[in-house]
Amino acid sequence: MPEPLTAQQVSDYETQGFVTVPGLFAKDEVKLILDAALTDERLAAAAYSRTDRDGNETRMSVWDEMGDDIYSIAMRSHRVANAVEQLIGEEICHYNSKLNAKEPKVGGSWEWHQDYGYAYGYGVLAPKMATCFISLDPSNRENGCIEMMAGSHRLGRIDHDFVGRQYCADQARVAAAETKLSVVPCELDAGDAVFFHCNTLHRSSANRSDRRRWALITVFNALSNLPYKDGPHAGLHPVDKVDDDMLRASAGRLSATEKVFQGQAFNPAA
């Protein structure tokens, strides 16, 4: 099977800490995912909110185990899993996934952070992780698209602490980094994806528009890099890859009763 990313895309990821892949999922595939998410009662019941400085909320549902629901099938597909293995350079496992929902006018912002800033506190030894962010709606700066600080993965892990209810990278260090590195708004169409390194600083602004901004996000870990202590996202969560055409065959597969969602508590020192 051919590798899903070109040599240039891999090089961009290594240099910038992220790479955008337009049209990773077709419009009809994205519609199937959204149709499921909008009718999935278990997904909705598990959702919780994180508020920003202004009190605006972003809702999310988070889970550790991949199953046969359409969200897992999307991220277990060869086009995603093989791409992540190209970027990490070894066999992967699942760390966690989430459905991230910013509603019109009220969707909150996210401060600068690194995904490894979270995982480090939960016992992941090395930054051998990568995230796949799939835009389920068209996103731009008006409705709070994700933004990357290009090359920031080379700064290494930055200390994180709480700002309100968000766990964020040290603000003084981030401000210094912003004077040297460029910020890239990733304006995406539905079905476009961004793959980014776990130490890449990223953020998003509040949704001030009248358009929703939903995204499906999965963090992958190297199989050799499992957390050394118990806690959220601990243990082995395999990625059983499936053919890309399985997504259309999975239309209507909602969260099963055995799907375990994570709660909203976050304590990286636990």
* pLDDT tens, residue by residue, 160-192: 998 777 889 999 999 999 999 999 999 999 999
pLDDT of residue 51: 84
As a whole-number percent, the residues of the chain with pLDDT over 70 amount to: 97
State the Cα–Cα distance between residues 109 and 206, nearest whole angstrom: 4
Q: Which fold has domain 10-224?
A: Jelly Rolls (2.60.120)
**Kind of pairing between the strands at 202-204 and 110-113:** antiparallel
* Vertex 265 angle, CA 141 and 267, to 5°: 95
What is the residue whose two structure tokens read 């603000």?
A: 171
In this prediction, residue 270 carries a pLDDT of 33
d(CA 16, CA 183): 11
123-158 pLDDT per residue, tens = 999 999 999 999 999 999 999 999 999 999 999 999
Biggest distance spanned by C-alpha atoms of the chain? 48
What is the dihedral sign for C-alpha 38, 44, 48, 51?
positive
Task: Provide the 10 A C-beta neighbour count for residue 53.
Answer: 12
Phi-psi region of 233 (alpha: psi -120 to 50; beta: other; left: phi over 0): left
Contact 193, 134 (CB under 8 A): yes
**Size of the chain, expressed as the number of residues it contains:** 270
How do residues 208-258 score in pLDDT, each as one tens digit? 999 999 999 999 999 999 999 999 899 999 999 999 999 999 999 999 887
Tokens standing for residue 90: 């070894």
Angle of helix 7-16 relative to helix 78-88, nearest 10 degrees?
60
Supply the pLDDT for residue 265.
Answer: 47
pLDDT of 266: 47
Q: Is the dihedral of CA 91, 5, 242, 23 positive or negative?
A: positive
Q: What is the pLDDT of residue 40?
A: 97
Mean pLDDT of 86-108: 96
What residue type is assigned to position 252 of the chain? Answer: G
- Taking CA atoms, 266 is separated from 121, 161, 167, 259, 263, in Å, by 10, 11, 9, 20, 8
Measure Cα distances from 231 to 98, 108, 147, 262, 264 in Å: 17, 27, 29, 11, 13
Q: What share of the chain is helix, strand, coil (3-state, %, to 5)?
A: 30, 30, 45
What does the DSSP assignment read for 125-161?
-S--EEEEEEESS-B-GGGT-EEEETTGGGG----EE
Question: Which pTM value belongs to this model?
Answer: 0.95
